Each structure stands twice: as structure tokens, then as C-alpha cells.
Amino acid sequence: MILSTGRTYIFIHIPKTGGTSLALALEQRAMKDDILVGDTPKAQRRNKRNRSLKTAGRLWKHSRLTDLRGLLPDQQMQEMFVFTLIRNPWDRMVSYYYWLRDQSFDHPAVHLAGRLDFEAFVLHPKIQ
């Protein structure tokens, strides 16, 4: 997630859509007061300054626009150009499945991806 008051935009990072690549490109032109949240190098370096920020929801890499309420006055927030990346749903699911197979944290989707082939994973009721 990137909020740039100087360039008047907010980038919302939807998981498994190529958002990290876009964040890396955007952060090369980041202004000093831009809020960068994520796992890119510049976002990691700015992580400490984000701790004092007050928001309506969780401030993290995949924050939703509604989570960001409180960072700016409502009128200023409405004037921002807000954008994201989307991905073909099938490609996104393939990416999600293979990403899950590399994870080791305790989550139902991680366990399902670890024991099911892709077709069974996609058709599983907990995934659908």
C-alpha cells in the first residue's frame, strides 16, 4: 500500500496480483512523506514511522481503502487518485495455490494446498 499526498494517489495492493512489482517501481519515485507499507526495501526502511499512524483498520501491505480512514481528512482522501492491479481470477488462483505450497504457517488454506493437487484444491468447499 502506498499513500502519496505529494502526488495525490493511493495504491491499494490486492494479494497475488503483481502488486509488489508495481510497488517497487512506484517507490523509486517516492516522496519523503509518502506512506509506504509492505515488504519492499524502502517500505521496510520506513516501517518505524508508520507505527504512530492512526487508521480505522489494520495498516498493512494489503490494507483496504476503508482501513486507511484517519490518515487524511475525508475531503483530501476523496480527492486522491485511487488505483490497484487486478488479475485474471484463474491466474490469481494458480499463483495463490503455489504460494501456499511454499508456506509453513498454520492456516487451513496452507494445509489444503500442501495435501491436495490443484484441481482438488480449487474445488474444495473451504476454498470456493
Q: pLDDT, tens digit, for every residue of 56-113?
A: 999 999 999 999 999 999 999 999 999 999 999 999 999 999 999 999 999 999 999 9
CA dist., res. 122 & res. 85, Å (int): 22
What is the reported pTM? 0.86
Please state, rounded to an integer, the average pLDDT across all residues of the chain: 96
Alpha carbon of residue 4 to chain centroid: 16
Look at residues 75, 38, 69, 65 and name the one whose alpha carbon lies nearest to residue 55.
69
Provide the CB-side half-sphere exposure for 111 (13 A, CA).
4
